[in-house]
A and B are shown apart, each in its own frame.
Chain A
Amino acid sequence: MLDALTVAVAVTALALAAWCGFAAYRDQPTKDWHFIGMAVVSVLALAQLVVGIVQLARGERPDQGMTIFIAYLIGAAAAVPAAGFLSLTERTRWGSVTVAAGAVVLAVLEVRLYDIWGN
């Protein structure tokens, strides 16, 4: 369950990065549709946070320690919303670049999360 979500978040995050990167390439700010895309990725990351905590509550333990696991889960859930807020106040192509960078950071966090959880 958790691994499936990790893969799903990573893939959607990369798609979001490509989409916003394309908007930046065309010299456009983030539009409503981009924010819907960000919402989808953020909901998946939030679901991952909940599932991760439920797995911990069930007594399963991540390979590389619980503190690091929880820290990365929170970071993953916060990454795209934070970049989205920055792009709200930067209505140029650079707002799109920021969201694309945020989505790439999220994808990297997911790779690390996969290692941290292990099993």
Chain B
Amino acid sequence: MSDTDRTGAPAPQHETPDRQQRFELGSGPGRVLVWFYGVFTVAAASRSIVEMILDFGKAPLAYVLSAVAAIVYGFITYSLVRGGEKARKAALMCCAAELAGVLVVGTWTRLEPSAFPDSTVWSEFGMGYLFIPVILPVTGMIWLRRARNA
């Protein structure tokens, strides 16, 4: 009886026909990435907002860079949840931008510490955040490249 019921609905895969266009990016291993990107969105956003409100003049460059990081993290989180080929490409580009940002800001803080009276999320290659800011975009790009074939 249950088998005849099943034939009516696309039971085994329970996916919509447009699976080709909107495959999921945020399930399986992607779910862990959604979690980490979500955490870093909240962390970077709240950090930059608090710092900007309390004393923007102290280190404007550092605070603006933290805010940029928050926007990039937020967009990648959104893309992972949305899924599909367009979101995958957009997230891939943002991960590359994120990695470039971490490397540039990381090197910059090493070469010219005086430009940063206060640190950013990406200072010292993300050392204050257990180097996760460097690890995350690399993991993200590996996942996003693989997800296309899944």
The residue of chain A having its C-beta at the shortest distance from the C-beta of B128 within the complex is: A112
Judging by beta carbons under 8 Å apart, are B50 and A94 in contact?
A: no
The residue of chain B having its C-beta at the shortest distance from the C-beta of A65 within the complex is: B54
Interface flag for B42 (CB, 8 Å): yes
Q: How far is the CA of A58 from the CA of B2 in the complex (A)?
A: 63
B99 to chain A minimum Cβ distance, whole angstroms, is 20
The residue of chain A having its C-beta at the shortest distance from the C-beta of B38 within the complex is: A82
Interface members, chain B 26-75 (any A CB < 8 Å): 27-32, 34-36, 38-39, 42-43, 46, 50, 54
Judging by beta carbons under 8 Å apart, are B32 and A97 in contact?
A: yes
Interface flag for B130 (CB, 8 Å): yes
Q: How far is the CA of A71 from the CA of B49 in the complex (A)?
A: 11
- Summed over the interface, the residue pairs from A and B with CB atoms below 8 Å come to a total of 40
Chain B interface residue count: which class?
10 to 19
Q: Of B30, B35, B46, B50, which is within 8 A of A101 by CB?
A: B35
Interface members, chain A 37-77 (any B CB < 8 Å): 65, 67-68, 71, 75
Interface flag for A108 (CB, 8 Å): yes
Judging by beta carbons under 8 Å apart, are B31 and A90 in contact?
A: yes
Judging by beta carbons under 8 Å apart, are B50 and A67 in contact?
A: yes
Q: How far is the CA of A83 from the CA of B29 in the complex (A)?
A: 14
Chain A residues whose C-beta falls within 8 Å of the C-beta of B54 in the assembled complex = 65, 67
Take A67-B50, A68-B50, A90-B27 as given contacts and tell me if A98 and B32 are in contact as well, using a CB distance cutoff of 8 Å: yes
Judging by beta carbons under 8 Å apart, are B39 and A94 in contact?
A: no
B54 to chain A minimum Cβ distance, whole angstroms, is 7
Chain A residues whose C-beta falls within 8 Å of the C-beta of B27 in the assembled complex = 90, 94
The residue of chain A having its C-beta at the shortest distance from the C-beta of B39 within the complex is: A105
Q: How far is the CA of A90 from the CA of B81 in the complex (A)?
A: 13
Judging by beta carbons under 8 Å apart, are B34 and A86 in contact?
A: yes
Chain A residues whose C-beta falls within 8 Å of the C-beta of B29 in the assembled complex = 94, 97
14 extra interchain contacts, Cβ-Cβ under 8 A, other than A65-B54, A82-B38, A98-B35? A67-B50, A79-B39, A82-B35, A83-B35, A90-B28, A90-B31, A92-B28, A94-B28, A94-B32, A97-B31, A101-B36, A102-B35, A105-B39, A108-B130
Q: Which 8 residue pairs spanning A and B have beta carbons closest together?
A: A90-B31, A98-B35, A94-B31, A97-B32, A94-B28, A98-B32, A98-B31, A67-B50
